[in-house]
């Protein structure tokens, strides 16, 4: 019963369309389900769990986050329908180890022979050798859900590279790793500087899945190990200039003329 409730909840996390999403320069691509956010950046559509982004650079593909794990076939078919070879997927970068972001890792990494990259502090959770700290009942429930995934146990998944703040990832022409703890200890953002594309995982949400209210906001406090550190981590990004803010939940925000993160953070709903 509790498992069913959590599954419905995580399904809602990604399929709810918040009324005040940006609706700016996001456009459906080639009439397929995948949505183009910026050059080489696509949001896969209709998946359960978190947003999954496909990054295309030449013939090389990467994914940011892997979803809840129920839509591996759909992820692969969307990549194919968009005209790409799923076996060109080299890397899956994980923003953090919550079950709605790592559930699809086993299916994708194994079938497509892709490497899993994650922050050093999240790698033991992905490898099933540790658990995230849990401050709230919801976090305990998420840990419980994670343990129900038969793939996320010791010996099943390997993180090929443990990331640190400042590292570069060879995807989308180069992604800089920004360690932004608080939601979980090893949460990370990824910045493609030339394109101004920032993948912020669950540091920021567009819409609140608990209340249904729209608007940019920090991750709901009930989800985060240290909510105050979430806001400090977000503020640490203030000097960045971005054109696309790609979050783990809710519609990405596109700023055609560019905007500083300082300005973006001023729009946060409390």
- Would you count residue 127 as binding Zn ion (CB under 5 A)? no
Spell out the long-range contacts of 161-167 with Cβ–Cβ below 8 A and sequence spacing 24 or more: 161/115, 161/117, 162/118, 162/119, 162/120, 162/123, 163/93, 163/117, 163/118, 163/119, 163/120, 163/188, 164/119, 164/120
Of residues 85 through 104, those in contact with Zn ion by CB under 5 A are 98, 100
Q: For Zn ion, how many residues bind (rule: CB under 5 A)? A: 5
Place of tokens 């985060």: 224
Beta bridge partners of 115: 91
Minimum distance from CB of 156 to Zn ion (Å)? Answer: 21
Q: Which is nearer to Zn ion, 61 or 247 (by Cβ)?
A: 247
- Would you count residue 64 as binding Zn ion (CB under 5 A)? no
Q: Which is nearer to Zn ion, 60 or 135 (by Cβ)?
A: 135
Minimum distance from CB of 39 to Zn ion (Å)? Answer: 25
Of residues 170 through 229, those in contact with Zn ion by CB under 5 A are 202
Minimum distance from CB of 218 to Zn ion (Å)? Answer: 12
**Cα diameter, the chain:** 48
- Would you count residue 122 as binding Zn ion (CB under 5 A)? no
- Would you count residue 50 as binding Zn ion (CB under 5 A)? yes
- Would you count residue 248 as binding Zn ion (CB under 5 A)? yes
Minimum distance from CB of 262 to Zn ion (Å)? Answer: 24
Residues that bind Zn ion (CB under 5 A): 50, 98, 100, 202, 248
């Amino acid at each position: 019963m509790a498992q069913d409730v959590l599954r419905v909840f995580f399904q809602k996390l990604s399929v709810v369309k918040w009324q005040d999403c940006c609706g700016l320069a996001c456009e459906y691509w080639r009439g397929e389900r995948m949505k183009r956010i910026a050059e080489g950046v696509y949001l896969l559509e209709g998946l359960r769990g978190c947003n999954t982004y496909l990054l295309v650079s030449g013939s090389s593909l990467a994914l940011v986050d892997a979803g809840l794990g129920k839509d591996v076939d759909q992820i692969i078919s969307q990549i194919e329908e968009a005209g790409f070879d799923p076996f060109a997927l080299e890397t899956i970068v994980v923003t953090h180890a919550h079950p709605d972001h790592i559930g699809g890792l086993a299916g994708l990494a194994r079938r497509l022979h892709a490497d899993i990259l994650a922050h050093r502090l999240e790698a033991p959770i992905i490898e099933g050798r540790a658990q995230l700290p849990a401050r709230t009942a919801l976090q305990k429930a998420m840990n419980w859900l994670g343990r129900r995934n038969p793939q996320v146990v010791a010996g099943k998944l390997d993180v090929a590279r443990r990331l640190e703040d400042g590292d570069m990832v060879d995807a989308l022409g180069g992604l800089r790793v920004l360690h932004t703890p608080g939601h979980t200890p090893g949460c990370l953002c990824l910045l493609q500087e030339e394109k101004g594309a920032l993948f912020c995982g669950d540091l920021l949400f567009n819409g609140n899945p608990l209340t249904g209210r729209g608007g940019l906001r920090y991750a709901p406090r009930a989800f985060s190990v240290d909510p105050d550190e979430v806001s400090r981590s977000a503020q640490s990004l203030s000097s960045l200039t971005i054109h696309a803010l790609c979050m783990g939940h809710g519609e990405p925000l596109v700023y055609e003329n560019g905007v500083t993160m300082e300005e973006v953070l001023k729009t946060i709903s409390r």
